[in-house]
C-alpha cells in the first residue's frame, strides 16, 4: 500500500510539472496580452507595465523565473487585478470548496438512496419514476436549472437571495444546482452497480442460506455495488469542488471557477497559471484518494498490487 501511494505521488509530481510547463507556454502563445483593451494605452506605458511584470524578457527566462518563485510558493502578482494571485486563490478557493462540499452532500444524499431503491425495486414504479427524473436531471444544463431555481425560490417565493454569498441560506440554491445534476448521475451509476452485484452467485447463495434481505443489500451488495460510484467520484469531486463558472456567475458567487475563466479571457497569465495548478493538484489528489479507497474496498486490486 505504501509503495503504491509513493509511486502515485511521484507520478503526480511529474504530471504537475508537465501541466505547468505546457500551460505556461500555451497561455503566452495566445494572441493578445493582459494590457490590450478597446481603448489602447500609449505604447510607452504598456512598455512600462510589461517591464514591471517581467513580460518584456524572453519567454524561457520568464518560465524559469516563474518556476523559481512557484517553488517558493509565490504565484506572483495578478497582471489585471489589484490583489496577488496567492491572495485571490486564498479567498476564492475556500468558497468553491464549501460550495462543492454542499453540492457533493446533496449529490450523494439524493443519488445513493434513489439508486439503491431503484435497483431493489427494479422494474417497478419506484424504479421508473426516479430513473426518468434522473435522466431529465442529467440532460438539464446548470444554466437552465440555476436561473429556474433562482426565479422560483428567489424572485417568486422570496425564500432565498437570488444571488450572493453572504448568509448560510445563500448556499442552498447554487449547491442544489450543482448537486442535483450530479445526484442524477450518481443515482444511475448506483443502480447499475447494484444490479450487477445483485445478479451474482454469492447473492443467490446468501439468499438461499436465508440471510435477511436488508442484510443482503447493506452488507453484501453495497460494498461491491458502490465501486463504480467511487471511481466516478474522483473526477466528479474535482469537478464539483472546482465549482462551475456557470453556477458561480448565475449566483454571483466569489469562487475560483470565475477567476479561472475570467483570467483566461483577460490573459492574466499569472492567475491562469495559479488556478490551473490548483485545479491540477485537486484532480490529482481526488484521484489518488479514490484509488486508495478502491484498493481498500476491493480485495482483488490489493492482490494485484502486491
Partner 1 sequence: MNVSKAALWRSLTWAAVVTASLFLSGCGQGVPDVDEGVERGILLAGNGAEPKSLDPQRATGVTENKIISSLIEGLIAYHPTDDTLPEPGVAESWEPNEDASVWTFKIRDDAFWSNGDPVTARDFVYSYQRMLDPAFPGEYAQMLYQLRNGEAYKTGEITEFSKVGVSAVDDKTLRMELVGPTPYFLDMLKHYSWYPVHPATIEAHGGPLDLSGEWTLPGNFVGNGPFVLEDWLPNQYIRVVKSPTYWDREMMRLNEIYFYSVEDVNTEKRMFDSGLLHTTSTVPTNDIPILRETRPDIIHIDPYLGTYFYRLNVTRAPLDNPLVRKALNLSIDRQAVVDKVTLGGQTPTRAYVPAGFNDYPTPDLISYDPERARTLLAEAGYPGGEGFPELYLLFNTSEGHRKIAEAVVDMWNTNLGINMQLENKEWKVYLDAQTHLDYDVSRSGWIGDYMDPVTFLEMFTTGNGNNDTGWSDARYDELIHKAFRSPNQEAHYASLLEAENILLDELPIVPVYWYTRIYLQDPRVRNWNPKLLDNRPYKYIYLSE
Q: Which residues bind partner 1 (CB under 8 A)?
A: 30-33, 36-46, 48-49, 52, 77, 80-84, 88, 91-92, 105, 109-110, 113, 116-117, 120, 147, 150-151, 154-155, 158-172, 213-214, 217-218, 249-254, 258, 265-267
User: Closer CB to partner 1, residue 109 or residue 235?
Assistant: 109
| Residues 111, 139 contacting (CB under 8 angstroms) | no
Residue 267 CB, shortest distance to partner 1, in Å, is 5
- Residue bearing cell 442544489: 176
Do 56 and 50 contact (CB within 8 A), yes or no?
yes
CB of 194 to partner 1, least distance (A): 11
Query: Would you say 42 or 73 has its CB closer to partner 1?
Result: 42
Q: Which grid coordinates are listed for 247?
A: 453556477
CB of 112 to partner 1, least distance (A): 8
SS3 state of residue 41: coil
Between CA 252 and CA 271 the distance in angstroms is: 20
Residues in CB range of 125: below 8 A, 6 or more apart? none
What grid cell was written down for 105?
A: 452532500
Of 222 and 285, CB closest to partner 1? 222
Residues 6+ apart with CB under 8 A from 57: 65
CB 85 within 8 A of CB 274: yes
The cell for 243 is 465549482
Least distance (Å) from partner 1 to the CB of residue 7?
38
* Residue 194 to residue 216: CA distance in whole angstroms: 11
Q: Report the distance separating Cα 157 and Cα 61, nearest Å.
A: 57
Taking the least distance from each CB to partner 1, the nearer of 30 and 139 is 30
**Whole-number minimum distance, CB 132 to partner 1, in Å?**
18
First to last CA, the chain: 8
CB of 35 to partner 1, least distance (A): 9
**77 beta partners:** 84
Nearest distance in Å: CB 154, partner 1: 5
Q: Which is nearer to partner 1, 33 or 291 (CB)?
A: 33
Alpha carbon of 64 to those of 21, 57, 58, 162, 290: distances in Å?
10, 11, 10, 45, 34
CB 62 within 8 A of CB 27: no
Pick the closer one to partner 1 by CB: 19 or 175: 175
Give CA 169 to chain center in angstroms. 22
| Nearest-approach distance from CB 143 to partner 1, in angstroms | 10
Amino acid at each position: 500500500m505504501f509503495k503504491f501511494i509513493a509511486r502515485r505521488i511521484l507520478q503526480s509530481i511529474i504530471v504537475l510539472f508537465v501541466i505547468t510547463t505546457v500551460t505556461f507556454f500555451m497561455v503566452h502563445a495566445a494572441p493578445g496580452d493582459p494590457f490590450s483593451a478597446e481603448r489602447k494605452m500609449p505604447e510607452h506605458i504598456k512598455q512600462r507595465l510589461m517591464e514591471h511584470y517581467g513580460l518584456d524578457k524572453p519567454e524561457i527566462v520568464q518560465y524559469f523565473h516563474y518556476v523559481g518563485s512557484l517553488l517558493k510558493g509565490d504565484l506572483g502578482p495578478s497582471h489585471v487585478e489589484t490583489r496577488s494571485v496567492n491572495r485571490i486563490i486564498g479567498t476564492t478557493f475556500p468558497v468553491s470548496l464549501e460550495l462543492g462540499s454542499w453540492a457533493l452532500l446533496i449529490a450523494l444524499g439524493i443519488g445513493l438512496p434513489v439508486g439503491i431503491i431503484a435497483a431493489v425495486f427494479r422494474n417497478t414504479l419506484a424504479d421508473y419514476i426516479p430513473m426518468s427524473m434522473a435522466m431529465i436531471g442529467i440532460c438539464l444544463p446548470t444554466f437552465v436549472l440555476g436561473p429556474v431555481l433562482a426565479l422560483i425560490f428567489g424572485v417568486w417565493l422570496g425564500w432565498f437571495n437570488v444571488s450572493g454569498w453572504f448568509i448560510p441560506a445563500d448556499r442552498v440554491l447554487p449547491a442544489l444546482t450543482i448537486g442535483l445534476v450530479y445526484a442524477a448521475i450518481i443515482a444511475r451509476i448506483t443502480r447499475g452497480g447494484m444490479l450487477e452485484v445483485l445478479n451474482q452467485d454469492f447473492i443467490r447463495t446468501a439468499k438461499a442460506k436465508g440471510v435477511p434481505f436488508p442484510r443482503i443489500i447493506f452488507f453484501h451488495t453495497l460494498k461491491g455495488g458502490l465501486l463504480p460510484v467511487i471511481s466516478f467520484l474522483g473526477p466528479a469531486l474535482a469537478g464539483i469542488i472546482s465549482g462551475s463558472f456557470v453556477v458561480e456567475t448565475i449566483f454571483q458567487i466569489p469562487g475560483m471557477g470565475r477567476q479561472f475563466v475570467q483570467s483566461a479571457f483577460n490573459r492574466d497569465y499569472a492567475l491562469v497559471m495559479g488556478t490551473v495548478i490548483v485545479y491540477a493538484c485537486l484532480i490529482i489528489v481526488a484521484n489518488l484518494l479514490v484509488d486508495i479507497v478502491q484498493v481498500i474496498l476491493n480485495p482483488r486490486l490489493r492482490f494485484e498490487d502486491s
